[in-house]
Structure 1
């Protein structure tokens, strides 16, 4: 057997042996959720900062017919809140400049 083949065989045996060891305990789910919420919060804050002060390129209305923002109007905190509550945040973000 060549040296390379022996090295490969030894590496395989080592890998198999490490798989047989008891798995490390998984971290508690709560910190993972907390970290996920922190990331989501940071992303939401970034989106908010990007949209604030821009102007809507079209009028966006809620399913109920309520106007969220008129074309040409500035995007404010109030507009963002109405868009979130009406599930029109994505539509708003796609129609600003």
Structure 2
């Protein structure tokens, strides 16, 4: 299995209730049911107020590298990424686990 973690940082001046952010969250909330290759799908707002904390996280898993590639290239994923690109930056980690 591969764990796919993504941490998002909203750009300066962008708040959670910004319509673009609301649309981005909605797009990602729907991904779990749209992409069969996703073995697990979790997301949510960070509850930490530490200065180094990111704002939003996605925690998902897929069976293998081929499934990860399919997920990353899926049109629904690409559409969500395009939304988030407008108001945030992010970091990604993909690792193998049992």
- Which of the five TM-score ranges fits, normalised by the shorter chain? under 0.3
Q: Greater CA radius of gyration, 1 or 2?
A: 1
**Structure number having the greater strand percentage:** 2
TM-score (norm 1): 0.27
- The structure with higher relative contact order (CA 8 Å, sep 6+) is 2
TM-score (norm 2): 0.27
**Structure number having the greater helix percentage:** 1
